[in-house]
Amino acid sequence: MTDPVLTVEGLTVNYSVGAGTFHALQDVSLEIRPGEVVGIVGETGCGKSTLGHAIPRLLPEPPARIESGRIVFRGTDLVTVPRWKLPMVRGTGIAMIFQEPLNSLNPAFRVYDQLAEAVRIRRLRESGRLPMFRPDRDDPFDYSRPPPPPKGGTLANAIVPGGVTAEAVQGRRLGSYRDDVLEYLRLVRINDPETVLGLYPHELSGGMRQRVMIAMALSEKPSLLIADEPTSALDVTIQAQVLTLLKELIDEIHTAVLFISHDLGVIAETVDLLGVMYAGRLVEIGPAAEVFESPRHPYTKALLRATPNRSKAEGALDTIPGAVPNLSRLRPGCRFQPRCVLARPVCANDPHPPLVPIGFGPAPAVHRTACLFPEEVAQLP
Amino acid sequence: MNAPPLLELDRVQKFFPISRSVSEYFAGRPGRNIHAVDGVSLTVGSGETLGLIGESGSGKTTLGWLVCRLHSVTGGRIRFGGEDVTELAGPALRAWRRNVQVVFQDPVGSLDPRLRVWQIAGEPLRAQGGLGKSEVRRRVRDLLPSVGLPPDCLDQYAYEFSGGGRQRISLARALSVSPRLVVLDEPTSALDVAVQAQILNRLVELQRARRMAYLLITHNVAAVRYVADRVAVMYLGQLVELGSMRAVLDRPVHPYTKALIAAVPALDVRRRRTRYRIGGDVPTLIDPKPGCRFAARCPFVIDRCRVEDPPLTAYPGDPERLVACHRAEEVRDIAPSELLAPAGAS
């Protein structure tokens, strides 16, 4: 079993604002291995974007504050890394795709300039001209993932260790990044990349912008890609195209992916391992097929059942009574307890139940739930 | 057919002119138009729900605004209860508006942050009836439970509510004058799935109780399946398919409808191994060329599609159903799932 690229252990994040302290994340733990796609699903305000931003330390601190926990990325705890070193982690270490591609591309620069910057930074880091983040143990981003399949083009070639330095030193002039940039645009299936090079972000459609974002994230050859709602701003047919592209690229380049979405359908199509979040807690995690087919947390079950799947003639939709709790006024006990059909006094009185495995299996992939009564969840209609 | 339908659109068009630059003006270049809605004809019967699905830029919101007379049409007629309302203006238009109300997509932007709930939800009452404050408050208080809000929230502000709560205030505002048609413009797309289910349930209950008609404009196929009786599919300003909900969503004929339904992610882990086969982007709406507007992306395209507009014609065997495709007969049995390829194939 390969070592995980990322291990998050007991991560707790609070936001201190005027109205009080919001417990945005509490005791979140997960692992991502090379080539694995881990999905995080949950409703608005459940902390999934906070998690996505906390990992590369992109949260504004303050008001955010990492209270406790570790974010171990390739052997280094990012929580203790000094802030000035963090930009070295981002890009070539951890790359992100954000939800709204128009806001994450610089409107004043052409597509070429934005992509070339990413390529240039990677080359400079690889050739030692820019400081690159060195983990404590001596394996600086060796991309020691399973050997990539041959079809990957430039991406796969440069992932191979040692194959980069010689040609990276050349080409300090911006113009010489053109070939690389074109290659990446082709990789994300952009037709006519020569024209797209010279366009500004506002001249692109939403799907194209998101492709450019993906190209930019991948051009730095990250060990970990965090995709925060990458298709939520897109139309459904364009979303299907971008998802197809992401699925193909994930298969090609074997990067580890943390895929955050509120859309259960999108998640079902994409991820290997699925974590379900509720009110800042990870309440269930396991292989996607198991979580979808036999959910063991009442919230997961309720969420799946609330998805519209019938006509009004076939009866009303199931809903979850009540509302998401206010994260600044949390009571002890299970956070889902006030809305849960299985709730008992013990759920409100005991501390929040930890994630416990159901059944047996290899440790990282085993299905775990934070419910005291997983057997009874299975019995729910 | 004896009674006229509640709402009838007859080849309605809405073009938005693109402003010309000074040099273009002096060079004598003709002005260009965005054909947002281009010849749409449809009807909505009393008490029924017509679901209008389409992607952004298909003109569905513009069509909704035309129905509410928030835009004026470029061409075509709008009839309401058999009466032509296309040219209504002034006091007559204001009086007519009590028949048609609208719930907007954005639950934040569509509610005035400086007004209290009773003022927001009672605004149509004041505009229509000139009712006094105490009467408006009384009516709004009676109305709030029906949309699922507590009656004692009259004096709260909109920002004190969650997205679902705001959408309920919007709904109360629309219902306050007992309209015969409510235009629901993406009522749930800003909401989480659990809240969305609550709002959709509420919409169906209200319709049963009050027998009003809905024009549900959305890109959410699942919501349309739950709420709608009939479905119209729009692509680039034109209708491509219209028919009963079951027929259109379960046995779509038009290739675009198939592509749309195939693209909806299902709660199905096995779909992980599939690849979506419809490429291309949505083309521009600026002075579109003749020919089927889906031709550039359609997997079943033939030469005729690129030159000749397919008319929206009755589909053999189902008089309720209209399809705008030259090859409707040939492609009708192709299931949407065939637009998904297994992984590995390209």
> B271 to chain A: which residues are within 8 Å by CB?
268-269
A8-27 pLDDT, tens digit per residue, is 988 999 888 877 888 888 88
> B272 to chain A: which residues are within 8 Å by CB?
247, 268-270, 288
Instruction: Read off the DSSP letter of residue B21.
Output: P
- Cβ pair A236:B223 closer than 8 A: no
pLDDT confidence of residue A132: 66
Which segment of A169-173, A219-223, B233-237 scores lowest on mean pLDDT?
A169-173
Mean per-residue pLDDT, A277-294: 89
Give all domains of chain A, ordered by start, each with its CATH number.
6-271 (3.40.50.300), 281-379 (no CATH)
Q: What percent of chain A has pLDDT over 70?
A: 85
Nearest to B263 among A237, A251, A307 (CB): A237
Mean per-residue pLDDT, A243-264: 84
**Model confidence at A169: pLDDT above 60:** no
**Model confidence at B219: pLDDT above 90:** no
Instruction: Read off the DSSP letter of residue A271.
Output: -
DSSP B76-144: EEEEETTEE-TT--HHHHHHHGGGEEEE-S-TTTTS-TTSBHHHHHHHHHHHHH---HHHHHHHHHHHG
Mean per-residue pLDDT, B118-142: 88
Mean per-residue pLDDT, B269-278: 77
Taking an 8 Å Cβ-Cβ cutoff, which residues of chain B contact chain A? 55-56, 162-163, 192-194, 196-198, 200-201, 204-205, 219-223, 225-227, 245-246, 259-260, 262-269, 271-272, 274-276, 278-279, 281-282, 343
Residues with Cβ < 8 Å from A97, sequence gap 6 or more? A210, A213, A214, A217, A225, A226, A227, A228, A230
Reading the block at residue B228, the tokens are: 């709608």
The CA radius of gyration of chain B, in Å to the nearest whole number, is 22
Q: How far apart are CA B186 and CA A48, in angstroms?
A: 25
pLDDT confidence of residue B188: 85
Mean per-residue pLDDT, B90-115: 88
Residue of A nearest to B284 (CA): A205
B140-182 pLDDT, tens digit per residue, is 999 998 888 888 888 988 888 888 888 999 999 999 999 999 9
ipTM value greater than 0.85: no
Q: How far apart are CA A275 and CA A288, in angstroms?
A: 8
pLDDT confidence of residue B7: 92
> B222 to chain A: which residues are within 8 Å by CB?
307-309
**Summary mean pLDDT of chain B:** 87
Residue of A nearest to B258 (CA): A237
> B247 to chain A: which residues are within 8 Å by CB?
none
B181-185 vs B100-103, strand pairing mode: parallel
- Cβ pair B275:A244 closer than 8 A: yes
In a 13 Å sphere around the CA of B72, the CA atoms on its Cβ side amount to 5
Nearest to B194 among A265, A266, A303 (CB): A303
Mean per-residue pLDDT, A276-299: 89
**Continuous H helices in chain B:** 22-26, 60-67, 90-96, 117-129, 133-143, 163-175, 193-210, 221-227, 245-250, 255-263, 303-307, 328-331
Reading the block at residue A256, the tokens are: 């580890």
**Model confidence at B32: pLDDT above 70:** yes
**Model confidence at A318: pLDDT above 80:** yes
> A327 to chain B: which residues are within 8 Å by CB?
none
**Summary mean pLDDT of chain A:** 79
Mean per-residue pLDDT, A213-218: 86
Nearest Cα residue to B339 out of B280, B267, B293, B269: B280
Residue of A nearest to B341 (CA): A244
* pLDDT class of A149 with cuts at 50, 70, 90: very low
Give the CA angle between residues A199, A203, A208 to the nearest 5°: 85
B274-327 pLDDT, tens digit per residue, is 778 787 777 777 888 888 888 888 888 889 988 888 888 888 777 788 999 988
pLDDT confidence of residue A48: 87
Q: Phi, psi at residue A11, to the nearest 5°?
A: -75, 125
Question: pLDDT higher for A326 or A163?
Answer: A326
pLDDT confidence of residue A258: 92
pLDDT confidence of residue A191: 77
**Model confidence at B44: pLDDT above 90:** yes
Q: How far apart are CA A175 and CA A182, in angstroms?
A: 12
CA-to-CA separations, A228 to A22, A27, A55, A69, B33, in angstroms, rounded: 21, 20, 12, 22, 37
Mean per-residue pLDDT, A329-344: 83
**Continuous H helices in A44-84:** 48-54
Q: How far apart are CA A250 and CA A253, in angstroms?
A: 6
Q: Taking CB atoms and an 8 Å cut-off, how many pairs form between chains A and B?
A: 123
Min CA distance, B270 vs chain A (Å)? 7
Task: Label each residue of B30-62 as H, E or C.
Answer: CCEEEEEEEEEEEEECCCCEEEEECCCCCCHHH
Among all chains, which residue has been given the structure tokens 């919001």? A22
| Most confident option among A55-59, A116-120, B204-208 | B204-208
- Cβ pair B193:A307 closer than 8 A: yes
Min CA distance, A321 vs chain B (Å)? 9
- Cβ pair A268:B267 closer than 8 A: yes
The maximal CA–CA distance of chain A, rounded, in angstroms, is 68
A39-88 pLDDT, tens digit per residue, is 999 888 888 888 988 988 888 888 888 888 889 888 788 888 877 777 77
Which segment of A89-93, A332-336, B258-262, B340-344 scores lowest on mean pLDDT?
B340-344
Question: pLDDT higher for B231 or A164?
Answer: B231
pLDDT confidence of residue A131: 67
Mean per-residue pLDDT, B240-250: 91
Tell whether pTM > 0.95.
no
Mean per-residue pLDDT, A335-350: 83
pLDDT confidence of residue A147: 41
- Cβ pair A306:B194 closer than 8 A: yes
pLDDT confidence of residue A157: 46
pLDDT confidence of residue A146: 39
pLDDT confidence of residue B214: 94
Strands annotated E in chain A = 6-17, 20-32, 37-41, 64-73, 76-77, 94-97, 224-228, 256-261, 273-278, 281-287, 356-357, 368-369
Question: pLDDT higher for A187 or B115?
Answer: B115
Q: Phi, psi at residue A19, to the nearest 5°?
A: -75, -10
pLDDT confidence of residue B183: 94
